């Protein structure tokens, strides 16, 4: 095959707790990650020369070595130099639907799609866990994007335990186009303000992660209980992002006043989602929020939870 087209879904965080510092400068996290039916499309084409080239229809997405999808292709070329010599470079075309710099892992899921696609394009036969391991060197969310579905993530976010999948739970997602939050800034601010409460002892860190694993949110997921999931949503990064971005706080407050199952910022924001009982309720909430915030800069999506990560939709 010379070309693959893949679908690369976004994720939301149903749970994000910052529990400690790490020697590598990152944070120890306990998260519950969920794939959603809002996805980019990635076309991969064997280039026939030794170039890696990225195209994208979104003006904010860089096309050079700072693009994580480009870095994913470069990583494959370095790790599998014989395949690179045999098959040559790759043309990557990203059709962007996931809002950029939104806390939805848009870049990470593009990188995951490139890893999966190049594994096929170059007949490498890598397993999912090998792809996840490669992904972890690119970014903390990339392994989850390879796996998809519903998972508990610990460590930097790269150590995954699969949870029972959720699907058919609908949500409305809001993101101000012009608003971007730097993930590094959000974590740094959190450390400055709340670092003194971090758990220092390794055993206590493991115990905290285990407590979340057997805690109320995972129980709610086991029971597929949307009401309970809505009540147990949690994201520590709201503590630094919401006070800094009043627009995001207001959006969250408006979602909360519409009678949804629960609302929360995703990742480091600034996207905010609201869980709904049905597609109809989600459409209704979208209309209501649009009426109350008639600002064209605010993008609103109705989407739902899905049980998969990257999928190949065609090959030629």
- Catalytic residue positions, numbered: 11, 141
Least distance to ligand C5P, CB of residue 88, Å? 28
How deeply is 184 buried, as exposed, middle or buried, from its count of CB atoms within 10 A (0-12, 13-18, 19+)?
A: exposed
CB of 24 to ligand C5P, least distance (A): 9
Taking CB under 6 A as the rule, which mask of x and - marks residues 14-33 in contact with ligand C5P?
Answer: ------------xx-x----
Token pair, residue 134, equals 């490669």
What minimum distance in Å lies between the beta carbon of 179 and ligand C5P? 18
CA-to-CA distance for 145 and 109, rounded, in angstroms? 5
Closest approach of ligand C5P to the CB of residue 260, in Å: 28
Rule CB under 6 A: is residue 139 a binding residue for ligand C5P? Answer: yes
Residue 110 contacts ligand C5P per CB under 6 A: no
- Pairing of β 3-21 and β 27-46: antiparallel
Residue 58 or 191: the one with the smaller Cβ distance to ligand C5P is 191
198 lies in the site for ligand C5P, by CB under 6 A: no
What are the helix (H) ranges across 148-303? 183-194, 202-213, 216-222, 226-232, 238-244, 246-256, 279-292
Residue 225: other Cβ atoms inside 10 A:
16
Q: Which is nearer to ligand C5P, 140 or 263 (CB)?
A: 140
How far is 19 from 26, CA to CA, in rounded Å? 11
- Binding status of residue 183 toward ligand C5P by CB under 6 A: yes
Q: Is 40 in the site for ligand C5P (CB under 6 A)?
A: no
CA distances from 108 to 2, 69, 141, 289 (A): 24, 8, 6, 29
Q: Which residues of this chain interact with ligand C5P, rule CB under 6 A?
A: 26-27, 29, 139-141, 156-157, 183-184, 187
């Amino acid at each position: 095959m010379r070309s693959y087209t893949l679908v690369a879904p976004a994720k939301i965080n149903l749970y994000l707790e910052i529990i400690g510092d790490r020697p590598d400068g990152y944070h120890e996290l306990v998260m519950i990650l969920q794939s959603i039916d809002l996805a980019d499309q990635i076309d991969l084409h064997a280039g026939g020369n030794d170039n890696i080239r990225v195209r994208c229809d979104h003006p904010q997405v860089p096309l050079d070595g700072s693009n994580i999808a480009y870095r994913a292709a470069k990583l494959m070329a370095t790790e599998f130099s014989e395949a690179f010599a045999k098959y040559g470079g790759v043309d990557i075309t990203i059709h962007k639907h996931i809002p950029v710099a939104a806390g939805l892992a848009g870049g990470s899921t593009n990188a995951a799609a490139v890893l999966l696609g190049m594994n096929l394009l170059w007949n490498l036969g890598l397993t999912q866990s090998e792809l996840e391991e490669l992904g972890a060197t690119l970014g903390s969310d990339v392994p989850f994007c390879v796996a998809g579905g519903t998972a508990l993530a610990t460590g930097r976010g790269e150590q995954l335990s699969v949870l029972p999948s959720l699907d058919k739970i609908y949500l409305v997602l809001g993101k101000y186009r012009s608003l971007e939050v730097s993930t590094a800034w959000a974590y740094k601010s959190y450390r400055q303000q709340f670092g003194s409460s971090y758990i220092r002892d390794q055993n206590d860190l493991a115990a905290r992660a285990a407590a979340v694993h057997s805690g109320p949110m995972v129980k709610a997921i086991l029971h597929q209980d949307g009401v309970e999931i809505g009540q147990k949503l949690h994201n520590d990064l709201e503590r630094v992002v919401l006070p800094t971005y009043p627009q995001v706080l207001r959006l969250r407050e408006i979602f909360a006043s519409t009678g949804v199952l629960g609302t929360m910022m995703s990742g480091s924001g600034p996207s905010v989602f609201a869980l709904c009982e049905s597609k109809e309720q989600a459409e209704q909430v979208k209309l209501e929020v649009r009426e109350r915030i008639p600002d064209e800069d605010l993008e609103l999506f109705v989407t739902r939870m899905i049980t998969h990560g990257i999928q190949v939709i065609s090959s030629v």
